[in-house]
Amino acid sequence: MSSVVRRRMVASGRVQGVFFRDSTRREAQRLGVAGTASNLGDGTVEVVAEGEADAVDRLEAFVRGGPGHAEVDRVDVRDEPPEGLRGFTTG
């Protein structure tokens, strides 16, 4: 039996301007994870992911590895109560 989890991840490094958000959105959709990926003013990318625990774990691994030309130095992760998100958007 799997459970729904929600995780907020903030990726630091070379993560803006390298298709990080869109690549994360595509991977989240492939995994069936809902949420958002947004550029923050300090040069980081915030990813909020909600879905089955295994799928969110796989998305977190993707964020930690970074897509394509991204260079992820650090990912700060915080678990949060699920809110019933649907779909995945970038902002």
What tokens were used for 55? 């799928």
* CB atoms closer than 10 angstroms to residue 79: 10
Strand order in the sheet with 88-90: 71-80, 4-14, 45-52, 34-39, 88-90
DSSP 87: S
Confidence of residue 85 (pLDDT cuts 50, 70, 90): very high
DSSP, res 35: E
In tens, the pLDDT along 6-35 reads: 999 999 999 999 999 999 999 999 999 999
Domain 4-80 grouped into CATH 3.30.70.100: yes
The catalytic residue positions are: 21, 39
Among candidate residues 89, 87, 71, 56, the one with its CA nearest the CA of residue 11: 71
Can you give the residue ranges of every domain in the chain?
4-80
C-alpha–C-alpha distance, residues 22 and 3, integer Å: 26
**What is the mean predicted confidence (pLDDT) over 27-52?**
97
